[in-house]
Chains A and B, each alone.
Chain A
Amino acid sequence: MDLTLSPAEQAFRDELRGWLEANNPGREPAGDEAAFEFRRDWQRKLNDAGWAGVSWPKEYGGRGATLVEQAIFNEEVVRARTPSVANVLALAMGGPTVIAHGTEEQRKRFLPPILSADEIWCQGFSEPGAGSDLASLKTRAVRDGDDWVVTGQKVWTTFAHHAKWCMLVARTDPQAPKHKGLTYFLMDMEQDAVQVRPLRQITGESEFNELFIEEARIPSENIVGGEGEGWAVAITTLMHERATLAFGLQVSVQIALRELLETARETRGFNGGVATEDPVIRQRLTQLMIESEVLRLNAYRGLSAIMRTGVPGPEGSLGKWHWSEVNQSLTELAMDIAGPRAMLSESDHNWSYRFLRARANSIEGGTTEILKNIVAERVLGLPRMR
């Protein structure tokens, strides 16, 4: 066991840190369009320096970094508080899925514009009637010559209004058992048959959209992984979502905790003293520090297990679930520290917004209940509930 970075890993981190320090464009502007353009510029800057597809193979424009280097990258960009990139879903999920399941033509066609942010991607998985039970989705694709004609409705599609491509899972064989009749398509969003309507969320903003698809056309060459293989390909996408997010998430919790500590030191509690001297607040703050350490250590343990055995250890499946609980507790504590100001929308470090936004953490990217099912069935080997 060695929990320090090797000289090579340290050199990688130092080079990255130096680059981020010199090139970080800072805070993004207000307004959806301006923020999007800002993120697109930032991603292009990253890509020009070879930092956009850190984990991607070199032959597809990536850096071919090791797992530890990917983890370092994910930690460092959060630590440097750089803006988000414009094509986050394609970089983290879509690209790796095409690399794993796509044809050589698809890799050549789709990967370069992902890295350059010339083509933005969104994800069309969930439907109004198919959330946790994703395989029961109803969006239908029917073959018509060399094309497929798609009709249905998708929901929670982040970035749909900027997207050129949609990772779309649709039912191609209604007769087959529900996991077997699905196919994974890359659907061109730039057609009238696809309508995007923003969904307003409890924070007031609109990160997500609804997608109304009325006889949209997709050429057969845009199927990833083969007809009827949609479920396996979708699982690859979801596994990438959960695995690569872990490192960024644990650092974001550490940063949030530092900010909460700053807030607590400047806020008076109900007994007149600063909040950090209130024994109950102190205990809760420390418990969060411990939990955030668990998130960090589990992420590294999971990584070591993958390097040793090629498969994630049991602790890997716990990260997203645990993170959502920690982030929710953290923002709830921020509200308790705020006292009567917890009733107001404006607050230091944007706590009121973060408090509301955190409610989605235990739902998005797999609900806690589904993640517990996965742990119970696949890690502990308990019988399936169905």
Chain B
Amino acid sequence: MNFGFTDDQQAIKRTAREFLEARYPLATVRALAEDGRGFTDGQWAELVELGWPGVIVPEELDGLGLGALELVVIAEEMGYALAPSPWFSTTCAALLLVAAGSSEQQGQWLAPLARGELRGTLAVWDEHSGWAPDHSEVELSPEGTLSCVKIAVPDAASADFLIVSGADGRHWVVERSADGVSIEPEEAIDPTRKLFRVALSGAPAEPLQLAGEALTGAYATIVTLLAAENVGVGQRAMEMAVGYAKDRAQFDRPIGAYQAISHRCAQMLLEVEGSRSLCYWAGWALAHEPETGPRAASMAKAYAGDAGFRVAASALQVHGGIGFTYEHDLHFFLKRAHANAHAFGDSRWHRDRVAELAGV
């Protein structure tokens, strides 16, 4: 029984923290938030050099061949830095291809993705449906082309291919440059992750080899990564609040000396540490105890979804008026925490899933 990271995992965490700190100061985050694409080729090339696109991709397909826990470590640091990057969307595509792609499909899409030559993304939500996968509006023609409208697709305009989800857990690979694919930017609440509206109208599509249950682990990993991002986001927002509470004086003393403020900060720690424990457990279980993985992942997503937003909102309250200004960086963290809470199933959905998996 040991809850600590291995030396390798610690090294990944340290590298990620140092690299992201150096490359994504908040001024850079802010500039990328105001940019339509949200990252530069140079920034992507640096992530490729670290091997991050292929963390989860087997070594024989040019990836690093690591597991869900290593992804969790990176996702937490990405959240802490709030680094705008197509890393998350590309990792989603990688997870689905690893889980459900045929060996040809993996050769065609996954290996180049791991080498950094191609980027992918995942298009899940239909224009008129909620999150339940059995409500899909995707139409498949007898010729095998797809028609649908997907919303809030991350980094779609800069991705080389999209993985599109349909009814019954089926998924298709669609090339971004194919006929019948049109992509429009959406105005996202969180400007550090670019979202797009993807309209397919008879677009050529290739079905992934496996469907349904085969993808359970991949989706569980995706929600764990969002939860882990919220751990990093919450940690950073808490640090900002604590720092401010030490510096800012009112009524002749630092506001952090007042229990109305200090107890708020203690509550932040409770929720951030709780989220962190659940995420590490989920990451570990997805790699080593698959029967527990999906339940742990939904627990992490439900808890960290709520906690990430609450911590950021509470940090904003500690900052008072200055925290409400666009000038201050805190709102970027609040917005990411909020968006993550609603992506890939909100907390209510995941609690309901936990109930189902636990046989309540």
Contacts and interface: CB of A to CB of B under 8 A. Distances in A.
A381 to B, nearest CB: 7
B9 A1 contact: yes
A376 B262 contact: yes
A168 B9 CA distance: 48
Query: Which of A4, A287, A381: most chain B Cβ within 10 A?
Result: A287
A383 B257 contact: yes
B307 to A, nearest CB: 10
A289 B357 CA distance: 12
A168 to B, nearest CB: 31
Contacts of B360: 261, 276, 282, 285-286, 289
B3 interface: yes
A81 to B, nearest CB: 21
A283 interface: yes
A11 interface: no
Interface residues of B, number: 46
Q: Interface on chain B toward A: helix, strand, loop, or mixed SS?
A: helix
B355 A282 contact: yes
A318 B273 CA distance: 9
B324 interface: no
A371 B278 CA distance: 22
B53 interface: no
B250 interface: no
B322 to A, nearest CB: 19
Interface stretch (A195-203, A230-238, A291-299): A291-299
B303 interface: yes
Contact of A290 (B3, B254, B289, B351): B351
Interface stretch (A57-65, A138-146, A300-308): A300-308
B135 interface: no
Interface in B245-262: 245-246, 253-254, 256-259, 261-262
A290 B107 CA distance: 40
Query: Which of A282, A283, A297, A369: most chain B Cβ within 10 A?
Result: A297
A291 B253 CA distance: 36
A72 B60 CA distance: 41
A1 B2 contact: yes
A376 B1 CA distance: 30
Contact of A294 (B3, B6, B265, B277): B277
A373 B269 CA distance: 12
B45 interface: no
A369 B258 CA distance: 12
B189 interface: no
B281 to A, nearest CB: 5
30 contacts: A1-B4, A1-B5, A3-B289, A261-B360, A282-B351, A282-B352, A282-B360, A285-B355, A286-B351, A286-B355, A286-B360, A290-B299, A293-B278, A293-B296, A303-B3, A372-B262, A372-B263, A373-B259, A373-B262, A375-B270, A376-B256, A376-B265, A382-B246, A382-B262, A383-B256, A383-B257, A385-B257, A385-B258, A385-B259, A385-B262
Given A1-B69, A2-B1, A371-B266, 4 more contacts: A290-B354, A294-B278, A304-B3, A321-B270
Interface of A: 1-6, 9, 68, 71, 261, 276, 279, 282-283, 285-287, 289-291, 293-294, 297-298, 300-301, 303-305, 307-308, 314-315, 318, 321-322, 369, 371-373, 375-377, 379-385
